[in-house]
Structure 1
């Protein structure tokens, strides 16, 4: 026979399972440290609705080097500045990664782009396009994150020099 305590326990568990969240982009920065490598023509967020923000990016790769281009992806959480949170992934060759798809965290991020980008394999097209990309809420099912402000910093480099960087900031808020 169910007791009052059991009833409150079930109501509490149901309530917790009904908690939903808002997740949206808050800022984006695109930096080209080497103008002979890339030119970024579009890097901005668009407010579609109150809780919906879309991101668009266009970068022209002027001369893809013959040497491997490395990529570093960092997930940071805001706590008196942005601090390393969970992931700091270094891929020594972008083309090798695009062929093998051998890192779970990077797979989650890049697979969430779906058909919003033209970068799927090498050779990388001369113009990289990401259009009308909304925060991938389904990613949070694979990689649950606590409430807070986050930054996803992606840096591209070759010859031991950083050439381009994209910093995407987003927030996660739980609500009932």
Structure 2
């Protein structure tokens, strides 16, 4: 690689970093609801602001009837605008196949949003509590802006966790993208 190519790549990287720096993604709320408290419950579910620029999400699901050998996840993204309206997806995927990487690139992308910060990193069965630990907003921003252009606004990311054909839990993350 010659000097001109290195200079060009460096310039492009600096431009991308400048664009990302002007953009901001912020977690504004998280709501975790256990729909079957005999099957699972949330030990904790919260947002924490370390400072003005660093906010992260953490949650823990306590499984009362392990092992979980079969589950599906319904994922949806809604934009807030005089109510909630669907944006680009509402899909249900087999959770065990999603984790083993046998899904579409879109599903693999959605799964990559939290795998680095959770213990949901192996295929079924799950015989332990599920933990998402300190998932930072800037990590989500980096993933989304590298995958597709995204319009500014307030969004709700909703996930329904369905085990053995019964909806067991719902997690809603409210996001502001400016």
Give the alignment's TM-score, normalised by structure 2. Answer: 0.79
TM superposition shift of 1:51: 2.9
**Structure-1 separation of matches of 2:55 and 2:102:** 28
Larger radius of gyration: 1
Closer/same/farther in 2, CA of residues 69 and 25 from structure 1, 3 Å limit:
same
Distance 1:165 1:54 in 2: 19
Trace 1:1-176 onto structure 2 (pairs within 5 A): 18-19=18-19, 20-64=22-66, 68-91=70-93, 93-121=94-122, 122-135=124-137, 136-139=140-143, 140-173=145-178
Q: Which runs of 5+ in 2 are unaligned?
A: 1-14
**What SS does the corresponding residue of 2:24 show, helix, strand or coil?**
strand
Residue ranges of structure 1 left out of the alignment (5+ in a row)? 1-14
Encode CA deviations 1:39-73: one digit per residue, 9 max, x unaligned.
Answer: 10110000122132100000111114666322100
| More helix by percentage | 2
1:5-53 deviations in Å (ceiling 9; x for gaps): xxxxxxxxxx9x9542011111100000001111101100001221321
The number of residues matched between the two structures is 158
Q: In 2, are the aligned partners of 1:156 and 1:164 still within 8 Å (CA)? A: yes
**Aligned residues of 1:74 and 1:152 also touching (Cα < 8 A):** yes
Superposition CA RMSD, Å: 2.3
TM-score (ref. length: structure 1): 0.80
